[in-house]
């Protein structure tokens, strides 16, 4: 489990491809302090398992499902990537609950400065992912925990403070760039539960989206 607080920007040093499978080697410094074989590290928000490491880099496997579902297939040698180690049991929650299980991708359609912030508008590729996004809720973009400003017609807006911009790969991304999207796990489970409750043949519990909204849960 992660929190969406990026620890450092790493660099892809080597990519080995075989069909839709990849082996990535990532150069890093800060997160290498306590890396162990089998550790989970989020790379651009994707939870991957360390298969090899040395003092300055680690290696992970990318399976075809991850290749298809995320923007990792766009990486090349020299690409910067967001890195976060899994949260320790006694760690501090600085962001929100992040699984590292990317739901889909989006594309940046605009990047507008607003005083000390930069507002990114991102078009979500999959309509089912958009349905799980809650206004003023949390979202993970390339592994970064962010608060949703607005969601309308499949476009989500987030506002980035200077520190977040400087410490993450968003500083390098402009219009047309693809980003990984993970929706908030709480909204995801509520959406799934409501869909099952309304399925034909299942007894209604009285739990509806309007009832949750009236009581401050949605």
- Three-state SS string over the chain comes to CECCCCCEEEEEEEEEEECCEEEEEEECCHHHHHCCCCCEEEECCEEEEEEEECCCEEEEEECHHHHHHCHHHHCCCCCEEEEEECCCCCCCCCCCCECCCCCEEEEEEEEEEECCEEEEEEEECCHHHHCCCCCCCEEEECCEEEEEEEEECCEEEEEECHHHHHHCHHHHCCCCCEEEEEECHHHHHHHHHHHHHCCCCCCCCCCCHHHHHHCCCC
How is domain 8-85 classified at the CATH fold level?
Answer: Elongation Factor Tu (Ef-tu); domain 3 (2.40.30)
Q: pLDDT digit string (tens) for 70-122?
A: 999 999 999 999 999 998 888 887 889 899 999 999 999 999 999 999 999 99
Q: pLDDT digit string (tens) for 191-209?
A: 777 776 665 655 555 556 6
* Common-topology check for domains 8-85 and 104-185: yes
Q: pLDDT digit string (tens) for 24-42?
A: 999 999 999 999 999 999 9
Domain boundaries, given as residue ranges, for the chain = 8-85, 104-185, 186-218
How is domain 104-185 classified at the CATH fold level?
Answer: Elongation Factor Tu (Ef-tu); domain 3 (2.40.30)
Q: What's the predicted TM-score (pTM) here?
A: 0.86
Q: Which residue has the higher pLDDT, 137 or 25?
A: 25
Q: Give the mean model confidence (pLDDT) for residues 159-178.
A: 96
């Amino acid at each position: 489990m992660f929190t969406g607080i990026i620890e450092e920007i790493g660099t892809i040093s080597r990519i080995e491809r075989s069909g839709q499978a990849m082996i990535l080697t990532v150069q890093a410094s800060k997160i290498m302090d306590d890396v162990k074989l089998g550790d989970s590290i989020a790379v651009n928000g994707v939870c991957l398992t360390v298969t090899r490491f040395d003092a300055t880099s680690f290696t992970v496997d990318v399976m075809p499902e991850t290749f298809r579902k995320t923007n990792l297939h766009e990486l090349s040698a020299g690409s910067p990537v967001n890195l976060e180690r899994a949260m320790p049991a006694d760690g501090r929650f600085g962001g929100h609950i992040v699984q590292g299980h990317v739901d889909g991708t989006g594309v940046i359609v605009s990047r507008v400065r607003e005083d000390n912030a930069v507002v990114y508008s991102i078009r979500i590729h999959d309509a089912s992912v958009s349905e799980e996004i809650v206004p003023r809720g949390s979202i993970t973009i390339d592994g970064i925990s962010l608060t949703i400003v607005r969601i309308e017609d499949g476009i989500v807006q987030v506002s980035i403070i200077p520190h977040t911009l400087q410490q993450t790969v968003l500083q390098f991304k402009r219009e047309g760039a693809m980003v990984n999207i993970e929706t908030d796990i709480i909204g995801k489970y509520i959406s799934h539960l409501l869909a099952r409750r309304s399925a034909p043949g299942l007894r209604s519990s009285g739990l509806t989206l309007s009832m949750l909204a009236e009581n401050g849960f949605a």
